[in-house]
């Protein structure tokens, strides 16, 4: 078992002292060394302390990826403050809720987002709001010798709000140990080797990005960071950065497969694609087109990001538990389910501190998830004969139609195979009589024509009658989380008109 008692923050100072010119990352081609990152982080930590913030005070960051964003994360860790990451796309009531719930004493945000924050309805009377440039200028030139002790591994490092795809986000308490473990798990999933370059598009305000700041500190690898995900530029960026690894979340692989064929499809240079959310149906097509083996994992922020990982290539499986976790699948009575049957994924750990202590100021949600020594994920999984696990979506992402349970994940994966569809999402809506009806939202590929009636007939040949959506809505685009997942909770109020398969029913 690995030793995580020093968390992750002290590792940067050690690397900076041992190899100050060593490369931590390149951001859009700009080199950032261990020595420079540690110096910037120390200056910012001293400034944070100097403006009156104490250990445990919350600092919210609403900023895009950049070298200063990296430095701020390590500065907050050094100062033993608590990081509250906020998606730069957050707006309105949801943004105001996060700010009011987290109660940060300092918010550092991109300049153009200050008006967005002011319009969110958040109570800002006791909050200091600064731009990234102002914070950087105030910290520049201060003494960069940090003399305070390192944080304890189980101190809270961050309050990371869940994506909120189906409701109000919950603030997950993430310790220094948990972030360290997330990096250790990335090393396992990705099979990282010395000299590897990890292409990084994912934002730091999502656990998929945050966990990457640990990797160069525990393995001889470099991060190749870009400002944001771009499907059209993706493989060119991978090639120009000489990246050996790409990371996928949400619908990234599906989006890449929908791009026109290119000479880069087999000349990009990446050796491994790792991450979570690869449907069984596109696993082999992706590998065959791009020549990059899939290494799939499953996890959530509450369990140090990654719980299981697939290192044996079994198509469709999310693999087996990381060394510090145990996984059980239970049915409605709490008893383990039989092989092949679906049950709730329940996680236990042999390493105290690997699972969150709970949710910030939300004892009800904490009590639902943490029962005894187990974390109840609310996700569905099944085991095969070799104890490889398969993920079947959220328990709450099922719809009850005429006595049958319909999995949104299964309907979406079938619909996504239509050649004119770029992405789609299914929700349940109230039926006039009985339980629910299925409503499917569809984004067409650019330049493609798609008729709702034609799509319905196409789906009818591939889905059971009770699975075939009654309503189909064509949309220009979807609102997405930081991990590119569609924000389903907003679809129920979508103003676009729906086509009805059975209008006279």
Q: Which residues are registered as beta bridge partners of 428?
A: 438
Q: What is d(CA 252, CA 199) in angstroms, rounded to the nearest whole number?
A: 14
**Contact (Cβ atoms closer than 8 angstroms) between residue 210 and residue 179:** yes
The DSSP output letter for 339 is T
Q: What is d(CA 56, CA 85) in angstroms, rounded to the nearest whole number?
A: 15
Q: Which domains does the chain have, with CATH numbers?
A: 402-500 (3.30.300.30)
The region, left, alpha or beta by phi > 0 then psi within -120 to 50, assigned to residue 29 is left
CA 402, chain centre distance (Å): 34
pLDDT in single tens digits along all 505 residues of the chain: 789 999 999 999 999 999 999 999 999 999 999 999 999 999 999 999 999 999 999 999 999 999 999 999 999 999 999 999 998 988 888 899 999 999 999 999 999 999 999 999 999 999 999 999 999 999 998 878 999 999 999 999 999 998 654 457 899 999 999 999 999 999 999 999 999 999 999 999 999 999 999 999 999 999 999 999 999 999 999 999 999 999 998 778 988 998 999 999 999 999 999 999 898 989 999 999 999 999 999 999 999 999 999 999 999 999 999 999 999 999 999 999 999 999 999 999 999 999 999 999 999 999 999 999 999 999 999 999 999 999 988 888 888 888 787 889 889 989 999 999 999 999 999 887 668 999 999 999 999 999 999 999 999 999 988 899 999 999 999 998 887 889 888 898 899 999 999 876 5
**Contact (Cβ atoms closer than 8 angstroms) between residue 159 and residue 58:** yes
As a whole number of Å, the end-to-end CA separation of the chain is 60
């Amino acid at each position: 078992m690995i030793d995580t008692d020093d968390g992750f923050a002290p590792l940067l100072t050690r690397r900076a002292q041992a190899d100050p010119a060593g490369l931590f990352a390149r951001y859009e081609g700009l080199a950032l060394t261990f020595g420079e990152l540690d110096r910037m982080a120390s200056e910012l930590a001293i400034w944070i302390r100097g403006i009156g913030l104490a250990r445990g005070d919350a600092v919210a960051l609403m900023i895009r990826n950049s070298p200063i964003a990296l430095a701020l994360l390590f500065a907050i860790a050094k100062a033993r403050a608590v990081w509250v990451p906020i998606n730069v796309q957050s707006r309105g009531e949801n943004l105001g809720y996060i700010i009011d719930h987290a109660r940060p004493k300092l918010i550092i945000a991109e300049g153009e987002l200050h008006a967005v924050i002011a319009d969110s309805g958040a109570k800002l009377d006791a909050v200091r709001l600064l731009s990234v440039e102002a914070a950087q200028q105030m910290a520049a030139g201060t003494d960069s010798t940090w003399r305070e002790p390192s944080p304890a591994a189980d101190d809270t490092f961050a309050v990371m709000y869940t994506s909120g795809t189906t409701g109000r986000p919950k603030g997950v308490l993430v310790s220094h140990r948990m972030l360290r473990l997330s990096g250790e798990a990335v090393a396992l999933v990705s099979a990282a080797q010395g000299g590897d370059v990890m292409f990084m598009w994912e934002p730091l305000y999502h656990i998929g990005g945050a966990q990457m700041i640990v990797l160069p500190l525990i393995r001889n690898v470099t991060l190749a960071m870009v400002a944001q995900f771009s499907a059209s530029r993706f493989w060119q960026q991978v090639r120009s950065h000489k990246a050996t690894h790409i990371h996928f979340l949400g619908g990234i692989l599906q989006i890449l497969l929908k791009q026109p064929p290119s000479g880069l499809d087999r000349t990009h240079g990446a050796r491994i694609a790792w991450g979570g959310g690869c449907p069984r149906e596109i696993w082999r097509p992706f590998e065959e087109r791009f020549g990059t083996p899939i290494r799939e994992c499953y996890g959530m922020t509450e369990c140090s990001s990654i719980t299981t990982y697939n290192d044996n290539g079994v198509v469709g499986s999310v693999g087996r538990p990381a060394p510090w976790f145990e996984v059980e699948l239970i049915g409605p009575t709490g008893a383990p389910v039989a092989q092949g049957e679906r049950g709730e994924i329940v996680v236990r750990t042999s390493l105290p501190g690997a699972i969150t202590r709970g949710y910030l100021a939300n004892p009800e949600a904490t009590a639902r998830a943490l029962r005894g020594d187990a974390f109840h994920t609310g996700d569905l999984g099944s085991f095969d004969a070799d104890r490889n696990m398969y993920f079947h979506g959220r328990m709450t992402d099922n719809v009850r139609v005429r006595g049958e349970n319909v999995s949104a994940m299964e309907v979406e994966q079938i619909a996504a195979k239509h050649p004119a569809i770029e992405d789609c999402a299914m929700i349940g809506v109230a039926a006039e009589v009985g339980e629910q009806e299925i409503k499917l939202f569809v984004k067409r590929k650019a330049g493609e024509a798609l008729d709702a009636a034609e799509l319905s007939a196409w789906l009818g040949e591939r889905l059971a009658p009770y699975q075939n959506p009654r309503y189909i809505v064509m949309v220009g685009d979807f609102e997405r989380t930081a991990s590119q997942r569609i924000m389903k909770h907003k679809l129920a109020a979508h103003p676009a008109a729906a086509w009805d398969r059975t209008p006279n029913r």
